[in-house]
Chains A and B, each alone.
Chain A
Amino acid sequence: LAKTTQPISMDSYEGQEVNITCSHNNIATNDYITWYQQFPSQGPRFIIQGYKTKVTNEVASLFIPADRKSSTLSLPRVSLSDTAVYYCLVASWGAGSYQLTFGKGTKLSVIP
């Protein structure tokens, strides 16, 4: 089971780019990397997912190096509404078992 490590907290000013890195040294071949955002009193919400290289959608980018032992979530020009906890997830399904590990989360605080 892949173990994930991410910073406990980060602060950023509005308008800046924020990069949050998650380490997953023993990621398996079949594992995908997914990032979720969670606001207080809500369930996590999908942000972006990747397997390798770079993925970009309308809200974020995900950078995954060739060895896949880490991944970096990039949030461009953050606003106050991006203040939340961000989780990385490494997961795969195979051989009748779900291998799934959430990180402990990074609490992002955006400052005006």
Chain B
Amino acid sequence: ETGVTQTPRHLVMGMTNKKSLKCEQHLGHNAMYWYKQSAKKPLELMFVYSLEERVENNSVPSRFSPECPNSSHLFLHLHTLQPEDSALYLCASSPGLAGNNEQFFGPGTRLTVL
């Protein structure tokens, strides 16, 4: 138990569906992250939030839309995804934004796009 929870753990969706991934951290951290982990590829940083403000968007397609309503919750809204978007989506949090801040990861949501 890392203090970061993600729901759902598994999600199957069609290309025309709209769904959302949820992340919650119970660590009092100020920074939260979304990562994509595909088979045989390194972890890709998608979005970074600090104190509910988005500070990083690594050229992620607009079909992925993040939302951070408060410092404990992070959402990833999905719409009109493609099969190549199938991956493990990981949420993480850290005390703040710094290269030496340890990141605490959730268990991930395994997404399959049909």
Which chain A residues have a beta carbon within 8 Å of chain B's beta carbons?
A: 4, 30-32, 34, 36, 41-46, 49, 51, 87, 91-93, 96-105
Contacts and interface: CB of A to CB of B under 8 A. Distances in A.
Contact of B99 (A32, A103, A104): A32
A30 B99 CA distance: 8
A34 B102 contact: yes
B92 interface: yes
A41 B106 CA distance: 10
Interface of B: 2, 4, 40-43, 45, 48, 55-56, 90-92, 97-100, 102-108
Nearest to B6: A43
Contacts of A41: 107-108
Most chain A CB inside 10 Å of its own CB: which residue of B55, B56, B99, B106: B99
Chain A contact residues, majority secondary structure: strand
Contact of A98 (B2, B43, B48): B48
Given A44-B105, A93-B98, 8 more contacts: A42-B108, A43-B108, A44-B43, A46-B104, A51-B100, A92-B99, A96-B55, A98-B45
